[in-house]
Structure 1
Amino acid sequence: MPDIAVKICGLRSAADIGAAVSSGARYLGFNFFDPSPRSVTPDVARALALDVPPGVAKVALVVDASDVALDALVETVPVDMLQLHGRESPARVAEVRARYGLPVMKCLGIAGPGDLEAIDRYSDVADQLLLDAKPPEGAALPGGNGLAFDWRLLAGRGSWDRPWMLAGGLTPENVGEAVRRTGATQVDVASGVESAPGVKDAGRMAAFCAAARG
Structure 2
Amino acid sequence: MTKIKICGITRVEDALEASLAGADALGFNFSRKSPRLVDADAARAIIDRLPPLVTAVGVFVEQSPEEIVDLCRYCGLQIAQLHSDVYDAETTRRIGGVRVIRVFRPGPGFAVSQVREFAGSTGCRSFLFDAYSPVAAGGTGESIEARTAKALFDGTRDFGWALLAGGLKPENVADAVRRVRPWGVDTASGVESAPGVKDALKIRRFVEAVREADRSSTNCC
Residues 90 and 121, structure 1, Cα contact 8 Å, conserved in 2: no
SS in 2 for 1:6: strand
Query: What fraction of aligned residue pairs are identical, expressed as a percent?
Result: 35
SS in 2 for 1:192: helix
Match of 2:98 in 1: 102
For structure 1, which runs of at least 5 residues remain unmatched after alignment?
A: none
Deviations 1:126-180 (A, max 9, x none): 2310011111x3x1x2000000011212436152311110001101100011111
Match of 2:143 in 1: 148
Match of 1:122 in 2: 118
For structure 2, which runs of at least 5 residues remain unmatched after alignment?
A: 213-221
Give 4+ residue runs of structure 1 displaced > 6 Å after superposition: none
SS in 2 for 1:61: strand
Match of 1:86 in 2: 84
Match of 1:76 in 2: 74
1:71–1:165 CA distance, 2 compared to 1 (3 A): closer
SS in 1 for 2:141: coil
Residues 69 and 97, structure 2, Cα contact 8 Å, conserved in 1: no
- RMSD between aligned alpha carbons? 1.6
Query: Structure 2 residue aligned with 1:192, among 186, 190, 195?
Result: 190
The one-letter amino acid of 1:200's match is: K
User: Greater shift after overlay, 108-117 or 28-37?
Assistant: 108-117
Distance, in Å, in 1 between the alignment partners of 2:172 and 2:107 is 18
Distance, in Å, in 2 between the alignment partners of 1:113 and 1:182 is 21
Distance, in Å, in 2 between the alignment partners of 1:194 and 1:149 is 20
Q: Between Structure 1 and Structure 2, how many residues are aligned?
A: 206
Query: Structure 2 residue aligned with 1:111, among 104, 107, 111?
Result: 107
TM-score with structure 2 setting the length: 0.88
Query: 5 Å matches for 1:161-200?
Result: 161-200=159-198
SS in 2 for 1:53: coil
TM-score with structure 1 setting the length: 0.90
Distance, in Å, in 2 between the alignment partners of 1:40 and 1:107 is 20
